[in-house]
């Protein structure tokens, strides 16, 4: 597969595994897992892949590690970013003292007023890397990076979870913890 084909397949896989599994005739279990072979069938039917190896190539090549395979290799899920109701069964974990969130400048007024909210996703996504946050913010417009005082939030009882791909998740970030 060439790079454009890989990108198209990755976008489709992200879309159906995070937001619209029914469009690919997939069923996600409570922890967001689905049968890998069923996903492969959907990708082939949509002419985005020719084989199971194509799908596994996208999983392996994903720079953001968007997908997780089960230990037995029979199931797949998106690592995070779901808008459908799932529970990834991640355990709370103490975060680094500071995490970052990339967004666009046009959202700053709302964020300063309401804090970070998950909006159409289940949780707020945070990064350990300022560079990653910049790249995320650029996808939405003129970027701005917010520092999150994750250590203080943890000390006040907020829970953090680390997705399989290293993205930090939390339910909300009140404005007082943002800089």
pLDDT above 70 covers a percentage of the chain that reads 100
Instruction: Tell me, yes or no, whether 52 and 107 share the same domain.
Output: no
Contact 117, 157 (CB under 8 A): no
Q: Which of 140, 166, 165 is nearest to 66 (CA)?
A: 165
Looking at the fold, whether 168 and 132 belong to one and the same domain comes out as yes
Q: Is residue 46 part of a domain?
A: yes
Task: Report whether pLDDT(80) > 90.
Answer: no
If you average pLDDT over residues 146-155, what whole number do you get? 98
Confidence at 125, pLDDT banded by 50, 70, 90: very high
Please indicate, yes or no, whether residues 12 and 48 belong to a single structural domain of this protein: yes
13 and 62 inside one domain? yes
Please give the average per-residue pLDDT across 68-86, as a whole number: 90
Q: Is residue 63 part of a domain?
A: yes
Number of domains the chain is built from: 2
Query: 90 lies in a domain?
Result: no
Q: Are residues 44 and 109 in the same domain?
A: no
Q: Are strands 143-148 and 34-35 parallel, antiparallel or unpaired?
A: unpaired
Question: Does residue 28 lie in a domain region?
Answer: yes
87 part of a folded domain: no
C-alpha R_g of the chain: 17
Tokens coding 168: 């930090």
Residue 169 domain boundaries: 99-177
The CATH number covering residue 54 comes to 1.10.10.970
User: How many CA within 13 A on the CB side of residue 110?
Assistant: 9
Whether residues 113 and 165 fall in one domain: yes
């Amino acid at each position: 597969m060439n790079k454009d084909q890989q990108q198209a397949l990755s976008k489709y896989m992200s879309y159906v595994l995070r937001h619209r599994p029914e469009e690919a005739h997939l069923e996600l279990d409570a922890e967001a897992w689905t049968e890998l072979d069923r996903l492969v069938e959907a990708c082939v039917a949509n002419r985005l892949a020719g084989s199971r190896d194509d799908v596994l190539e996208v999983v392996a090549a994903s720079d953001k590690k968007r997908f997780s395979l089960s230990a037995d290799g029979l199931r797949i899920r998106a690592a995070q970013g779901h808008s459908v109701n799932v529970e990834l069964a991640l355990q709370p974990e103490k975060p680094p003292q500071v995490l970052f969130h990339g967004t666009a400048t046009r959202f700053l007024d709302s964020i300063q007023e309401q804090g970070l909210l998950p909006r159409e996703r289940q949780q707020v996504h945070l990064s350990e890397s300022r560079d990653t946050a910049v790249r995320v913010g650029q996808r939405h417009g003129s970027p701005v990076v917010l520092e999150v005082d994750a250590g203080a939030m943890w000390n006040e009882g907020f829970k953090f979870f680390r997705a399989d791909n290293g993205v930090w998740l939390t339910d909300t970030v009140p404005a007082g913890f943002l800089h």
